[in-house]
Amino acid sequence: RVGSATSLSSAVINTRLQELVRLFKERTEKVKEKLIDPDVTSDDESPVASPAAAPVPAPGVELEGDKPSGDDHYCEMLCCTFKHRPWLDRLKSSQFPSSIDPLTNLMYVLWLFFVVMAWNWNCWLIPVRWAFPYQTPANIHYWLLVDYLCDLIYLLDILIFQTRLQFVQGGDIITDKKAMKENYLRSQRFKMDVLCLLPLDFFYFKVGVNPLLRFPRCLKYMAFFEFNNRLEAILTKAYIYRVIRTTAYLLYSLHVNSCLYYWASAYEGLGSTTWVYDGEGNSYIRCYYWAVKTLITIGGLPDPKTLFEIVFQLLNYFTGVFAFSVMIGQMRDVVGAATAGQTYYRSCMDSTIKYMNFYKIPKTVQNRVKTWYEYTWHSQGMLDESELLVQLPDKMRLDIAIDVNYNIVSKVALFQGCDRQMIFDMLKRLRSVVYLPNDYVCKKGEIGREMYIIQAGQVQVLGGPDGKSVLVTLKAGSVFGEISLLAAGGGNRRTANVVAHGFANLFILEKKDLNEILVHYPESQKLLRKKAKKMLKSNDKPKDEKGGPGDPLIIPPKADTPKLFKAALAATGRMGGKGPLERLRWRLKELRAMQ
């Protein structure tokens, strides 16, 4: 019994000591990281109690942490037991946000989708239920159920979502609940939301269920336009949605016109003249067909007979010409904006081809230029990335450059230990260049004025007697030519040919850009000079010591003295003998003195 208790105490003490060692290691790593990178901020954490101070439990007594709590819930699955929280606790812990960012919150965009669906129900179905005999006493409860479900969505939008939207005031983002609520109550949006929920449904008891009494529900159009803006901001190809939305505008105008035509036919009497709807077939489809022919001014319609029919048809023709021209113009703008980049690419390529034909450039060069245009456009979607980023503020350009290039540049041995802000400034100077297959990135003997970072593709370093043997293949993420940025004397000469193996997209940092940056960072400049000298010495050292592989030695190196012979000479010296070995030992001393 005593032995088991002692072993239990020893096991607990060992566990606590291991925990203490682990905490010391973590603290050492944090201090080491702080010394290496002073920019890293340490988290302000409350001090953790030392594990060694924890009381050792008495023999036979369970640790408090080892006992399962009564509030913990476990579920068994196969051979394992998992701890889980009850669904009610999980529901209570998930709280609705106190403030919502309308520009970036995807949950708010999803909610706007439901609000827009309710708004579309009212806009599309109210004219149909008013004009066509689709709402009957037999199905009236279905229509009213969906109507009041849409009203509930409207009400939740006013009470929960709109009063929690953040807004900007004086450059500050306001997240205070009272301020957000007051901002919504003072806005035009609140007035329209209240107007669209006017309780005109109480007139149902007097005039019956007339769908026109729900017409104010269509005034919630601000939610529709806000949803369009938010959705276009998160879509990668927003022009597709714009085309669909413009098409929906055209279909809705035809929808409203078909409802008006059926109402006019019912007012005149179905089948009373050749102009009105005769009451045969599907009423909505037949009226929609008439609306299409009228608004698009196809022609072939029966002539109106009465004054009412003539006035109605004239208004339809005028409205049709105006609406159709607006739709066509808007569709042209949408398609033109979607293909603006393609049009710019095509115009640049046509101008270049015209220039090359004017100066009678060889066909081989023209084909390579065309290949460069096509690959650059299909791989990047643009010809020059700088044209896109020049519109952004300097801080945003830096953020994009850090996300794209920082992981690669920070691994370059030459720049490790330099000022981080200097590296950030350097990232903004990188220039993207596309090389075609077998294009020379740099040639042997050239003065190096650039450093290259491989973004995509591969390059091959060529050497050997013929200069065509592949020494090494560099892949994406590799860096070469960095020493030439800081080499003195007009620049470091390239020692090998570098050729693009396939299509290669490289980032280039020019020497003049780096020199402009280093003016503001003298400490980093000194560090880079030292590193460049070390790298140059390490590159030249094997050549100086070992020589070329085929160079014959004029004076061969002297063979080392055998170890056994050295031991015999040392023993002779200690014994003080005067034999041949002693004379030989004396002779070797004289030779060393002469050397």
Q: What is the pLDDT of residues 114-161, one digit of tens each?
A: 999 999 999 999 999 999 999 999 999 999 999 999 999 999 999 999
Instruction: Return the structure tokens found at 510.
Output: 């020019």
| 3-state SS, residue 173 | strand
The alpha carbon of residue 419 and the mean position of all alpha carbons in its chain are separated, in whole angstroms, by 27
Higher pLDDT, 64 or 208: 208
User: Which pLDDT score, from 0 to 100, does residue 52 have?
Assistant: 41
For 21, residues 6+ apart whose C-beta sits below 8 A from its C-beta are none
Task: Assess contact for 133 and 140: CB atoms under 8 A.
Answer: no
At 474-503, the pLDDT tens digits run 988 788 887 777 665 555 678 788 999 888
Share of the chain above pLDDT 70, in %: 75
Q: Which of 121, 102, 339 is nearest to 231 (CA)?
A: 102
Separation between Cα atoms, residue 433 and residue 382, nearest integer Å: 12
Q: What SS3 class is residue 161?
A: helix
- Topology agreement, domain 236-383 and domain 391-540: no
Per-residue pLDDT averaged across 37-58, rounded?
44
Confidence of residue 562 (pLDDT cuts 50, 70, 90): low
569 — pLDDT class (breaks 50, 70, 90)? low
Whether the pLDDT of residue 66 is over 80: the answer is no
DSSP code of residue 446: P
46, pLDDT greater than 70: no
Q: Give the residue extent of every domain in the chain.
A: 94-234, 236-383, 391-540
Residue 78, classified by CB atoms within 10 Å of its CB into exposed (0-12), middle (13-18) or buried (19+), is: exposed
Q: Average pLDDT for residues 203-231, to the nearest whole number?
A: 92
218: pLDDT strictly greater than 70? yes
pLDDT at 225 over 90: yes
Mean pLDDT of 537-560: 49
Whether 518 contacts 422, CB under 8 Å: yes
Which band of pLDDT confidence, cut at 50, 70 and 90, is reported for residue 33? low
H helix intervals, 103-220: 106-131, 140-156, 177-185, 188-196, 204-207
> pTM of the prediction?
0.62
pLDDT at 265: 92
pLDDT of 267 strictly over 70: yes
Neighbours of 288 (CB within 10 A): 19
Tokens of 66: 């080892």
For residues 264 and 400, the model is more confident at: 264
pLDDT of residue 255: 94
Nearest to 74 by CA among 65, 84, 66: 84
Which of 60-74, 282-296, 309-323 shows the lowest mean pLDDT across its residues?
60-74
Per-residue confidence at 566, pLDDT binned at 50, 70, 90? low
Q: With bands split at pLDDT 50, 70 and 90, how would you rate the model's confidence at 568?
A: low
- 427's CB contacts (< 8 A; 6+ apart) are 398, 401, 402, 405, 406, 409
In sequence order, the β-bridge partners of residue 80 are 77
Q: What is the mean pLDDT of residues 440-445?
A: 87
Which tokens is 71 given? 């509030």
Which of the listed ranges 254-268, 414-428, 554-568 does the model predict with the highest average pLDDT? 254-268
CATH number for 236-383: choose from 3.40.630, 1.10.287, 2.70.70, 1.20.1740: 1.10.287
Q: Using H for helix, E for strand and C for coil, what is the string for 325-394?
A: HHHHHHHHHHHHHHCHHHHHHHHHHHHHHHHHHHCCCCHHHHHHHHHHHHHHHHHHCCCCHHHHHCCCCH
Pairing between strand 431-435 and 497-510? antiparallel
| C-alpha to C-alpha distance for 572 and 589, rounded to whole angstroms | 14
Q: Which residue has the higher pLDDT, 300 or 541?
A: 300
Mean pLDDT of 33-38: 58
**Distance of alpha carbon 42 from the chain centroid:** 28
| pLDDT exceeds cutoff 60 at 71 | no
In this prediction, residue 419 carries a pLDDT of: 86
Pairwise CA distance, residues 499 & 504, whole Å: 10
| Cβ atoms < 10 Å from Cβ of 214 | 21
Higher pLDDT, 15 or 123: 123
Q: What is the mean pLDDT of residues 456-474?
A: 86
Alpha-carbon dihedral angle through residues 261, 264, 268, 274, given to the nearest 10 degrees = -20
For the cut 70, the answer to whether the pLDDT of residue 522 exceeds it is yes
Rounded to the nearest integer, the mean pLDDT of the chain is 79
Average of pLDDT values for 85-100? 68
Lowest mean per-residue pLDDT among 123-132, 191-200, 427-436, 545-554: 545-554
Containing 469, the helix (H) or strand (E) segment is strand 469-474
Q: What is the pLDDT of residue 189?
A: 93
Q: Which of 312-316, 477-481, 550-554, 579-583 has the highest mean pLDDT?
A: 312-316
Question: What is the SS3 string spanning 19-67?
Answer: HHHHHHHHHHHHHHHHHHCCCCCCCCCCCCCCHHHCCCCCCCCCCCCCC
30-39, 49-58, 196-205: which is most confident = 196-205
> Does the pLDDT at position 72 exceed 60?
no
Q: Which two tokens stand for residue 548?
A: 């070329």
Least confident of 46-60, 67-81, 412-426: 46-60
Phi, psi of 458, deg, nearest 5: -140, 150
φ, ψ at 466 (rounded to 5°): -90, -5
Query: Which tokens is 484 given?
Result: 């030439």
Q: pLDDT confidence of 571, banded at 50, 70, 90?
A: low
pLDDT at position 507: 86
Cβ proximity of 451 and 508 under 8 Å: yes
Q: What percent of the chain has pLDDT over 90?
A: 28
Q: Which two tokens stand for residue 508?
A: 């280039």
Of 184 and 577, the structure prediction assigns the larger pLDDT to 184
**Is pLDDT at 333 greater than 80 in this prediction?**
yes
391-540 has CATH 2.60.120.10 classification: yes
* Residue-level pLDDT at 335: 82
pLDDT value at position 3? 55
Query: How much is the average pLDDT of 96-118?
Result: 92
pLDDT at 463 over 60: yes
- Does the pLDDT of residue 559 top 70, yes or no? no
Q: What is the DSSP letter of 219?
A: G
Q: For the chain, what's the residue count?
A: 595
- Flag whether pLDDT at 44 surpasses 50: no
What is the amino acid identity at position 506?
L
